[in-house]
Structure 1
Amino acid sequence: MKKSLKLIAVAASLTLITGVAVAPSAQAAKIKLCLALDTGGVDDRSFNEGAWKGAQASTQSTAEYLSAASSADFAPNIKKFVDKGCDLIVGVGFAISAEIVKSAKANPKIKYAVVDDAGEDCDANFNCKPVANVKGLTFQTDEAAFMAGYLAAGVSKTGKVATYGGAPYPTVTIFMDGYARGVAYYNKQKGKSVKVLGWDPASPSSGTFVGNFSDQSKALTISKGFEQQGADVILPVGGNLGAPYAAESEKSKKSVTIWVDSDGFGLLTAGKTILLTTVVKEIGASIKSVAKDVADKKFNGSRYVGTLKNKGVSIAPYHDQSGRVPGKLKLEVRKIRDAIIAGTLKVSA
């Protein structure tokens, strides 16, 4: 009996020394979360940066990333993460989706996610099927962009607003569609004729695009061209492409900018005081969510869709531009949000 008591005492003291006694689940090892970024860099003050902040905010994972200078880096970056033994590999952006799917099929024990795409396996005829270890993180950004378009039409003094994109990806044009439809809805409600330069949902082939997400000089030229045509609210959909113009228009005061993805007011220095709002895509929250699922062993390949209703998309506060937006217009924009959430106002084609 004494011998048993001594053994129990020794075990108890070892438990106290090693600190193993309390909630073993809380001591569980963190998963390794690895982000394969799109082009534009981790400090793009938009898409990649939002994803990285979300990964860093995850309390159930360690996080690292690899940047891409071009699409040629996508596959090698993903392969490096596979070799490192990452538990969850996230491809940041529609453009990287095909490489994520290819890697996922070759490594069924690793969990994957891809931002801005369904993450499906598609053949040459676009017949697509789900991949069990890939979760698509998608966003109904046209809902928030619709609000931004209505807002832009309401504050415009010239009766002209504009938008353009980095490249004609569906994840870019969905912003432009929502924006143009929001302007059209304003015109219908108010009997106005505010024009949208750069995009017509009915004629996508005539849309204005930079051609990539890195040529800020070309983006600046496009923005200035729209301003010369009379546009006084401009929505560039391309990560950090709009930064130089935002800085210039801050000095000229000829127009205001609408940012995308992450609230530009908290990301920009030069140019932030002319940001009317941001069409926000909560990329970080979606990445934290899937990391938690992997850590909790609850991962599944069903698609995540961010909406106004689940707070996956939104428009940011007006910040310094609040005084430019009349109280009545602010109320109308809120009512539009409520109607979209309730399903009484359809904004998607």
Structure 2
Amino acid sequence: MKKLFVVVLLGVFFISIFGFKVIMVTDVGGLGDGSFMDGTWSGIVKACKELGIEYDVIQSKEQSDYIPNLSKAAEIADVVFAVGFLMSDSFYKVAEQYPGTYFVGIDFTSENNLPNVMTFTFKEQEGSFLTGYLAAGMTKTGKVAIIGGIPIPPVQRYAIGFLAGVKAYNQLHGTNVEGKLVYANTFIDPKKGKELTQALMSEGVDIIQQACGGTALGIIEAIKEENNKCSNAKNLSELLDYLYDNNGYFMLGGDVEQEWQAPGHILASAIKRVDVASYLGVVKAFNGEWTSGNVELGIKEDGEGISRMPFTKGLVPNRLLAEIEYLIKLVKEGQLVIPSTEDELNAFRVKKIEFPF
């Protein structure tokens, strides 16, 4: 046992001498989105700081940057992260050319099973199901919506889960809340996000789920402007009092707990633990625990969920919070399967569920 301990220490010592570097390459969304990209980066930073290894980021300005940026990273790093579904084709082309470098893909997978490639995908529909259910239970106008970025598979699963949550609430409570889906067709245009939000609010929508990356910064701006105009609140306490008693507006965050970006204006967030995925990718490569292939994370694996609602939990009825916790339990036990396709959504029924309270 003592000899094994010495060998492990020597291994870490030699890695430290010769260096170990991790580089994350972003898609065009880049850092600063407050959700998907920032969440992935936070997991990398956390792992690298804990392990005492070097890390860096290369940000892509346009899609033509993907291959050169990934190639540049592969030449100087031991682990290269590619973040975003739109990078998948470039990712596999470069990974094939650099078999001695570990490659971690976030939000996509492929049948191209390279030994130096590990990918992480998520059951986005499970997290957004919870926020969709919450939205249906909290709306005062009977209209909620989700704004997606580009209609790629992860975003489509987000939308299907959200609409399934609304549908489940309607079936269990005999309500008729309307759920609407619109696409911004971009992840990097806050102005478009604001315009779409203002249009939805004019239609009577009072709660909007974001699944559009940096475009959601415009959703936050529009909702803050409207709430502040109507409430005349001077602080968070006055805002929450107003929202409790009146018809205010809320955004639902995506990927990370976004509430801190606009306390009181963001009701909750659908959590997609990209930080857990990126953290695991670094640790497995550094510790020699690498396994190629895809890892899928959902509620059961603590890779999907709903935020703690640090500012707004007091606005939500206890009964609704308890129902959401019970639905989480059913998903973990396999008794409730959240739809991930349009056909599954159309056939989705939950009337057999009975809450034990």
Q: TM-score, normalised by structure 2?
A: 0.83
Relative to structure 2, which stretch is displaced further, 23-32 or 53-62? Answer: 23-32
Query: Equivalent residue for 2:123?
Result: 140
**Structure 1 counterpart of 2:156:** 173
Is 1:261–1:280's contact at 8 Å kept on the other side of the alignment? yes
Task: Determine the structure 2 residue equivalent to 1:117.
Answer: 108
The answer on whether the counterparts of 1:56 and 1:62 sit within 8 Å (CA) in structure 2 is no
Deviation at 1:33, TM superposition (A): 0.9
Say whether residues 1:52 and 2:34 are aligned partners: no
Asked if residue 33 in structure 1 is aligned to residue 33 in structure 2, the reply is no
1:24 paired with 2:18, answer: no
SS at match of 1:249: helix
Alignment size in residue pairs: 309
Q: Is the 1:36–1:66 Cα contact (8 Å) retained in structure 2?
A: yes
**Structure 2 counterpart of 1:233:** 207
Supply the distance in 2 between the matched residues of 1:38 and 1:263 (Cα, whole angstroms). Answer: 21
Work out the CA distance in 1 between the residues paired with 2:179 and 2:95: 41
Amino acid at match of 1:79: S
**What is the letter of the counterpart of residue 249 of structure 2?**
S
Quick one: which amino acid aligns to residue 302 of structure 1?
G
Matches within 5 A, 1:324-335: 324-335=315-326
> 2:175 is matched by which residue type in structure 1?
K
Corresponding residue for 1:4? Answer: none
1:25 shift after superposition: 4.2
Q: Matches of 2:9 and 2:69 in 1, distance apart?
A: 37
Distance 2:309 2:9 in 1: 45
Mapping of 1:163-312 within 5 angstroms? 163-198=146-181, 208-253=182-227, 254-266=248-260, 268=261, 271-312=262-303
Whether the 8 Å CA contact 2:194–2:221 is kept in 1: the answer is: no
Q: Distance in 2 between the 1:98 and 1:245 partners? A: 31
Whichever residue aligns with residue 162 of structure 2, its letter is: Y
CA–CA distance in structure 1, aligned partners of residues 83 and 136 of structure 2: 32
Residue 75 of structure 2 aligns with which residue? 83
CA contact (8 A) 1:197 1:226 kept: no
2:334 equivalent to 1:343: yes
Give distance in 2, aligned partners of 1:304 and 1:113. Answer: 11
Distance 1:295 1:323 in 2: 43
Q: Partner residue of 1:149?
A: 132
Are 1:161 and 1:196, in contact at CA under 8 Å, matched by a contact in 2?
yes
Distance in 2, matches of 1:184 and 1:314, equals 18
Report the alpha carbon displacement of residue 83 of structure 1 after superposing the two structures with TM.
2.3
Distance 1:62 1:299 in 2: 19
**2:135 is matched by which residue type in structure 1?**
A
- C-alpha deviations, 1:177-198, integer Å up to 9, x for none? 1000010010000111100122
Contact in 2 for aligned 1:274/1:320 (Cα 8 Å): no
Q: 2:60 aligns with which of 64, 68, 76?
A: 68
Query: Which amino acid in 2 is paired with 1:304?
Result: V
Q: CA deviation at 1:95?
A: 0.6
Which of the pair has more CA radius of gyration? Answer: 1
Q: CA RMSD in A?
A: 1.8
Does the 8 Å CA contact 2:30/2:37 hold for their aligned counterparts?
A: yes
Instruction: Select the residue among 290, 310, 323 that pairs with 1:319.
Output: 310
1-side partners of 2:108 and 2:92: how far apart?
11
Q: Is the CA contact 1:246–1:272 (under 8 Å) kept in the aligned structure 2?
A: no
Superposed CA deviations along residues 40-81 of structure 1, whole A, max 9, x for unmatched, are: 221221111111111111133321110111111111111111
- Measured after TM superposition, the shift of residue 319 of structure 1 is 2.0
Q: Which amino acid aligns with 2:74?
A: V
How far is 1:290 from its partner?
1.4
Tell me if 1:104 matches 2:95: yes
CA gap of 1:345–1:22, structure 2 versus 1, over 3 A, is closer
Q: Secondary structure at the match of 1:109?
A: coil
**Partner Cα separation in structure 2 for residue 251 and residue 215 of structure 1:** 18
Structure 2: which amino acid aligns with 1:72?
Answer: S
Partner-residue secondary structure (3-state), 1:311 = coil
Q: What is the CA distance between 1:26 and its match in structure 2?
A: 4.6
- Does the alignment pair 1:158 with 2:141? yes
Shift of 1:258: 0.3
Shift of 1:231: 0.8
- The answer to whether the Cα contact below 8 Å between 1:235 and 1:258 also exists between their aligned partners in 2 is yes
Q: Is the 8 A contact 2:259 2:267 kept in 1?
A: no
Q: Which moved more, 1:225-234 or 1:28-37?
A: 28-37
The separation in 1 between residues aligned to 2:141 and 2:154, in whole angstroms, is: 29
